Structure 1
């Protein structure tokens, strides 16, 4: 089954993490806690742990995110985890990865498996899509 929706970031809280040992690279690594709100066939909210190595000035970097989603897909309610990552060289999005974490579904989404995608319009609108199966 395929569903789509849009989302917005409701909170964005940078979190300091100091690795041991600290290793300096040309691109700083950061961690952010986010809350997202979803609308459309994907409706609900997510708590997101977002890690990136990103050069703000050049707009170049890579992120890795783990999300805990609570809401509904096409009207079926529950919760599950999904992970995604992508790289940008400043104006593009490449090397994308997106997976629903097996065994993480609850409620009417118990047993969910699949993949998904995120796209961003020129005006900044964020879209999410899931291609999933349920038992």
Structure 2
């Protein structure tokens, strides 16, 4: 089943966190927390641990995120985690990965599995979808 929606970022806060032995690279790495709000067939909110290596001047780099969602898909309520990552050469998304974390679902979303994706639209809005399965 596919659920679609839009989201807004309601918070983004860089964290002061670095490895004990940091390695200097051409693209600085960082960690942040992020919050999102979802509307559409996907409703609710999420809390995200966001790691990135990004050249802020050119917007070139990549990220890996662990997102914890609370809300509903097609009216079925609960929580679950999902991971997503991508790279960019400035104005695109490549090398994407998006997976619902096995055994993370609760409530009416217990047993959820699947994949998904997200897009940054040219008007500045954001879309998201989950292609998911739930036990009968």
Q: Normalized against structure 2, the TM-score is what?
A: 0.98
Q: Deviations over 1:91-112 (max 9, x none)?
A: 1110000000000000000000
Separation of aligned partners in 2, 1:53 and 1:107 = 35
Q: Is the 8 A contact 2:18 2:30 kept in 1?
A: no
Q: Normalized against structure 1, the TM-score is what?
A: 0.98
**Pairwise CA RMSD of aligned residues?**
0.6
Unaligned segments of structure 1, at least 5 residues: none
Q: Deviation of residue 11 (structure 1)?
A: 0.9
Separation of aligned partners in 2, 1:106 and 1:93 = 31
Q: Deviation of residue 20 (structure 1)?
A: 1.3
Q: Detail structure 1 runs of 4+ shifted over 2 Å in the superposition.
A: none
Residue 47 (1) aligns with residue 55 (2): no
Q: Which residue of 1 is the match for residue 134 of structure 2?
A: 134
Q: Which residue of 2 is the match for residue 96 of structure 1?
A: 96
Separation of aligned partners in 1, 2:22 and 2:121 = 36
Q: Is the 8 A contact 2:30 2:53 kept in 1?
A: yes
Which secondary structure state, in structure 2, belongs to the residue aligned with residue 104 of structure 1?
coil
- How many residues align structurally? 135
